[in-house]
Amino acid sequence: MGFSLSKLFSNKTSESQTNDTVEAIINDVENKPYGVSKNNVLFAGLNELGGYYFFQTVIVGQFHIKSKNGAKLFFIGDDFELKLDADMPEFESESSDIKGRSVTKIDFQVEESDLEKLENVKLKSVKLTAKSQDILFTRYIVSDEEE
């Protein structure tokens, strides 16, 4: 019989089942990271389409989700916090070829009045909240040796 109770009730988490690291993700992806967490890398940028502004994000790592209720993105700096809502309530992570690594694309609406604040603030961190999951990303700083 191909059924195993030990696999069904195993205490292993996705963290322990993958050897993927933040450093491996950064090396595999050509774009510069916007932020990093313990198990994920945030790639992001501000874009404009037809007069509407979007903060496009791609989360690569162990974060895996299927949401019908959207997400929120919080920018946190010195005496500064800005909350953005996902432009679409439904999104889903896609599995990658590397075991334990997923890719999640989420776009967030940005009001024109928030553009200057977002471009001029010194950020400490970015927090993504979706369903019951929170991921805190710290700003990724490129060392002089890497440039």
* Identity of residue 140: Y
Chain segment 37-65, per-residue pLDDT in tens: 999 999 999 999 998 999 999 999 999 99
pLDDT at residue 3 in the model: 46
Q: Name the token pair of 42.
A: 């945030």
- Rounded Cα distance between 70 and 91, Å, is 7
**Does the pLDDT at position 9 exceed 60?**
no
Rg (CA), the chain: 17
Give pLDDT, residue 133: 94
Domains and CATH numbers, the chain: 19-139 (2.60.40)
Which residues of the chain form beta strands (DSSP E)? 35-36, 40-49, 52-61, 66-67, 71-77, 80-85, 91-92, 94-95, 102-110, 123-130, 133-139
Q: Which residues pair with 134 in a beta bridge?
A: 129
**Residue 122: exposed, middle, or buried by beta-carbon count in 10 A (0-12, 13-18, 19+)?**
exposed
Residues in the chain: 147
What pTM was estimated for this model as a whole? 0.82
Q: What is the pLDDT of residues 63-87, one digit of tens each?
A: 999 999 999 999 999 888 999 999 9
